[in-house]
Amino acid sequence: MLFKQQALLRQKLFVLGSLAIGSLLYLVARVGSLDRLQPLCPIDGRFGPRGQDEIPLRAMQFKRGLLHEFRKGNATKEQIRLHNLVQQLPKAIIIGVRKGGTRALLEMLNLHPAVVKASQEIHFFDNDENYAKGIEWYRKKMPFSYPHQITIEKSPAYFITEEVPERIYKMNSSIKLLIIVREPTTRAISDYTQVLEGKERKNKTYYKFEKLAIDPNTCEVNTKYKAVRTSIYTKHLERWLKYFPIEQFHIVDGDRLITEPLPELQLVEKFLNLPPRISQYNLYFNATRGFYCLRFNIVFNKCLAGSKGRIHPEVDTSVITKLRKFFHPFNQKFYQITGRTFKWP
């Protein structure tokens, strides 16, 4: 009887041992083949055919995983070297405009596997103190990426700061420049709204928009008011054109990016010479927030900060009419220079 029990026990141990060894061998084989696996993705042709435009699976894995850790400073120099990661100067910069949708554009472009974004505004070219630190300081502010990827940063103040075009030209005369614009009067009110909210958080009072936008002495548009000056797009663009040809600029329709983002993003992909990778799968409308959110994959979604899409205060209609009339000739010139027409009043 004892002999039979011992034999049965040995048989069970043998079966369990075989299962354990089999599982171990499977895991070893699985790990060894990870780089050969194709990702499961509901987007048809997301990675396209293998060839020059291929975005390696390894880049996708690290972009959403290890690259995040590297940006937080959790990687060793050896890990960075082994994974062939570098900090590159930007090959494209979103130079403005403020309250035009620069953050939304940057986050949406980051959906593309060949794009790596700088999370914070660097303010290198528009800040004398930062600029004095040198180009190497600027490069070290960039995220880790693979050599084939494009690093993009955005600092909206670049567009209106006089020294910036020459400084960027000295860094890279062939860089691609992105400008995102909204209807000028709407943009000016949005600019005011952001400042107003900041004042209210500090329990400070602030002038009404009408008092700032209209000169009380002349009853004409106050061109000294920064929110108004920023919306005169053509004046700033002409300064940039002293250094860069118009072909190096791409104008993004910020109003359309809110309501119909995909066509605008596809135009940017083409401008940056990127293979088309962003699809409608990556963008879904959030009815609660009132604008589009981002879907990177089946588990990772992202919406912009709650501060986006602020409700604007009511503005006197006569002031709105006066502003639109003021901006009209500047808008017409902007259309002529850029070759892109908008349905602005």
Q: Is 312 annotated as a binding residue?
A: yes
The 10 Å Cβ neighbour count of residue 219 is 8
Q: Is 236 annotated as a binding residue?
A: no
Cβ(251)–Cβ(241) below 8 Å: no
Q: Is 48 annotated as a binding residue?
A: no
310 assigned to a ligand binding site: yes
**318 annotated to bind ligand:** no
Tell whether 102 is in a known binding site.
yes
| DSSP-assigned beta bridge partners for residue 284 | 293
Nearest to 153 by CA among 164, 282, 309: 164
DSSP β-ladder status, 150-154 and 115-117 = parallel
Phi-psi label, residue 273: left if phi above 0, alpha if psi -120 to 50, beta otherwise = left
290 is in an annotated binding site: no
Tell me if residue 99 is catalytic: yes
CA distance 171 to 178: 16
CA distance 117 to 17: 49
Q: Which of 77, 91, 99, 242 is catalytic?
A: 99
8 Å CB contact between 176 and 116: no
100 is in an annotated binding site: yes
Is residue 216 within 8 A of residue 333, CB to CB? The reply is no
CB atoms within 10 A of CB 40: 7
CB 119 within 8 A of CB 177: no
Radius of gyration for the chain, computed over Cα atoms and rounded to the nearest angstrom: 26
Q: Does residue 309 have a known ligand-binding role?
A: yes
Annotated binding site: 99-103, 182, 190, 292, 308-312
Annotated binding site for 3'-phosphoadenylyl sulfate: 99-103, 182, 190, 292, 308-312
Please list the active-site residues: 99
